[in-house]
Amino acid sequence: MVLIRDLAIQGAQMLLVLLLAPLFTGFVRKAKARLLRRQGPPLIQPYRDLLRLTRKDVVLAESASWLFRVVPYLVFAATWVAASLVPTFRTGLLFSWSADLIAIIALLGSARFFLALAGLDVGTSFGGIGSSREVMLASLAEPAMIMVVFTLALVAGSTQLSTIAAFMSSSGVGLRASLALALVALIMVAIAENSRIPIDNPATHLELTMVHEAMVLEYSGRHLALIELAASLKLILYVSLIACLFAPWGIASSAAAVPALAVGIGAYVGKLAIGSLLLALFETSIAKMRVFRVPEFLGAALMLGLLATLLLFVSGSF
């Protein structure tokens, strides 16, 4: 009985994340447009885009291989599995012990690995630009993320995300300098990993400013739909991660009854709304960086994460 209930909640979590991801993207676009005094597309436009793309033919380049066709499904599967393990409205998910925070990051890393390969597959220079810049950014963003994971693991005594979220939502955590540093580093890494301004422009058409868009330039039809959905899932994953770790109010514990779950879902949707507004505000108030300023930005994130870990190694009360 308990097993069925836990299974249902895990399934509900997976479905919730999948259904809310395009809505979140639509919300961010609408908020950005409004801040720029435009009307902006309707909130459900991303859903319409995805449906339209899935119904179209795939136009495949002549030099593309079987890897090019398999990668969208791989990327979507890896990102969806990772996103379903991040607690949104309840901690203590059924399968949270199968992949901890390090494994979640590695899953996102494997999605990126295959996407970079797909960029090189067709043999054009655009794909090469995207892949080479993407792996350069990843080579700094991933260690910074791992340092943040170390900080959280040392504070909470575990690397499992559900345990960390439960710890952060309990009263034993207090306000810690190392967590403040980790929060700043996590926000910087989240912006870089999701290809938002100031690192990359998700709405660009100029190759001078492309990183992610250049890698997926040759994709069309249902493949492109899956890749866009995976990108939205990744964005909602990072926002949920920041919410469950640093703003855990309202999240239901693993022994909660149905009313607490409803409160949890409501709190989660509210956090997503606030997160999207903050993201839109941030993106419209800052300009995109030159490509070779980004390593300095990510290097600073790595240093902050390393500093937070160092503080915790030196003394447990930091």
Q: Is 139 in the site for another protein (CB under 8 A)?
A: yes
CB 46 → another protein: shortest distance, Å? 16
Q: Which residues pair with 8 in a beta bridge?
A: none
Q: Cα 10–14–17 angle (5° rounding)?
A: 135
Nearer to another protein, 28 or 137 (CB): 137
Identify which of residues 27 and 167 has a Cβ nearer to another protein in the complex: 167
Angle at 84 between CA 82 and CA 89, to 5 degrees: 135
The one-letter code for the residue type at 40 is G
Binding mask 203-242 for another protein (x = CB under 8 A): ----x---------xx-xxx--xx----------------
The residue (of 261 and 282) whose beta carbon lies closer to another protein is 282
Region of 39-47, 238-246, 261-269, 299-307 interacting with another protein (CB under 8 A): 299-307
Interface with another protein, residue 313, by CB under 8 A:
yes
Q: Which range binds another protein by CB under 8 A, 37-45, 122-130, 193-201, 277-285?
A: 122-130
Q: Which of residues 70-99 bind another protein (CB under 8 A)?
A: 73-74, 76-78, 80-81, 95, 97-99
> Whose CA is closest to 162, among 49, 109, 84?
84
Cα end-to-end distance, the chain, whole Å: 43
Q: Footprint of another protein on residues 47-66 (CB under 8 A)?
A: 51, 54-66
Q: Which is nearer to another protein, 217 or 269 (CB)?
A: 217
The reply to whether 170 sits near another protein by the rule CB under 8 A is: no
Q: According to the binding rule CB under 8 A, does residue 259 interact with another protein?
A: no
- Total residues interacting with another protein, rule: CB under 8 A: 107
The single residue among 88, 91, 160, 240 that binds another protein, judged by CB under 8 A, is 160
Site string for another protein, 96-115 (x = CB under 8 A): -xxxx-xx--xx-xx-xx--
43 binds another protein (CB under 8 A): no
Q: Does 169 bind another protein (CB under 8 A)?
A: no
- For residue 84 the two structure tokens come to 């379903």
> One-letter amino acid identity for 66?
W
Whether 27 and 46 have beta carbons less than 8 Å apart is answered as: no
In degrees to the nearest 10, what's the CA dihedral of 131, 136, 140, 143? 50
Residues 6 or more apart whose Cβ sits within 8 Å of residue 13: 84, 87, 88, 89, 90, 93
Please report which residue ranges of 212-293 form alpha helices under DSSP H.
212-215, 221-246, 258-285
Token pair belonging to 278: 């903050």
